[in-house]
Structure 1
């Protein structure tokens, strides 16, 4: 059985969809949900599925405590689902081609440091783009530059607000992220 860990910093709606997808899987299980925020709602979502949780600070992650926990839990794949900290290089090297992230835009557009969540949707709106979407990619040492494994797009209409764009992107994330993870395993 492949053991997955999900790293998330916030509400965890994508994490919940992933836990739902794998809860009865014979291939993989979500064994751990870890967050850099002790009050992140994703931790409550994990409890609903009986998934172990772990919290850590940026300093603890940089000191190797997160890596130690992942090794202790015998994690095979790391899934970033709304995780907002840059992953230390040592952690990335410990999961070569086995760490995957989702980004709320069609990379290489609107990627990089500071480009997450509403900042991305506001940038798409401000640019007048007619489409946006999601990118699922493997993680490397550079923000949002890992090998792209999947993209899906949705139309952006002139009357769409940044919130409307966010809703469309969330629908794509929830639909595709669990399936793409499954196909990568």
Structure 2
């Protein structure tokens, strides 16, 4: 039996595709479902291309326990991964999946986090502040934006000449390199699995 992962995203889904590819043929875990709060989000098309079931839902549906919890149960989802997902996670979902929902943030939390801080807004703030480093933070989800316990951080240098786009390129490279690996390690830890080499 494999640990079944659901990916939640609101945008183009580049991180989601990277995660899907990483877990293809994995012995103990698989991406079993892709969910989005936007019916036109390209993440759904990426799921379709890889033969992963996908569902779009409204914000109202997501906040309703009667809608989202049965959906996850029907699909036998064990672990949730946020990849550019912009809605706040309902408390009922956090309680149902304790330490089994993780997110990636494109900065070094606790700096540049919180409601409204996502995507290019983060990189613009980093550059405007004259930061010498940025990076990624992978963390557990709690009832507040970007405040759950940190699982992993790594950095990249921000040069004085870097634009927000330059920083975004560096941060995306870190996301693609580390997020799937940290997902695997976190699942091993939370489910008591023996670490394995993919």
Q: Same fold (TM over 0.5)?
A: yes
Unaligned runs of 5+ in 2: 188-198
Unaligned runs of 5+ in 1: none
Moved beyond 3 Å, runs of 4+: none
> Counterpart in 2 of 1:115?
117
> Counterpart in 1 of 2:85?
83
**Cα drift, residue 49 of structure 1:** 1.2
**Cα drift, residue 48 of structure 1:** 1.4
- Match 1:101 to one of 90, 100, 103: 103
Find the aligned partners of 1:10 and 1:66 in 2 and give their Cα distance: 19
**Cα drift, residue 62 of structure 1:** 0.9
**Cα drift, residue 30 of structure 1:** 0.4
Find the aligned partners of 2:141 and 2:80 in 1 and give their Cα distance: 10
**Cα drift, residue 67 of structure 1:** 2.0
> Counterpart in 1 of 2:8?
7
For residues 9-36 of structure 1, the C-alpha deviation after alignment (integer angstroms, 9 at most, x for no partner) is 0000000010001011011010000000
> Counterpart in 1 of 2:175?
173
Partner of 1:3: helix, strand, or coil?
strand
- Match 2:76 to one of 71, 74, 77: 74
For residues 82-136 of structure 1, the C-alpha deviation after alignment (integer angstroms, 9 at most, x for no partner) is 0001111111111100000000000000010011000100000000000000000
Find the aligned partners of 2:109 and 2:52 in 1 and give their Cα distance: 31
**How many residues end up aligned between the 2 structures?**
185
Alignment of 1:20-99 (within 5 A): 20-64=21-65, 65-99=67-101
Partner of 1:10: helix, strand, or coil?
coil
Partner of 1:78: helix, strand, or coil?
strand
Find the aligned partners of 1:13 and 1:67 in 2 and give their Cα distance: 26
Find the aligned partners of 1:68 and 1:36 in 2 and give their Cα distance: 16
**Cα drift, residue 63 of structure 1:** 1.3
TM-score by structure 2 length?
Answer: 0.92
Q: Considering only aligned residues, what root-mean-square deviation do their CA atoms show, in Å?
A: 0.6
Partner of 2:161: helix, strand, or coil?
coil
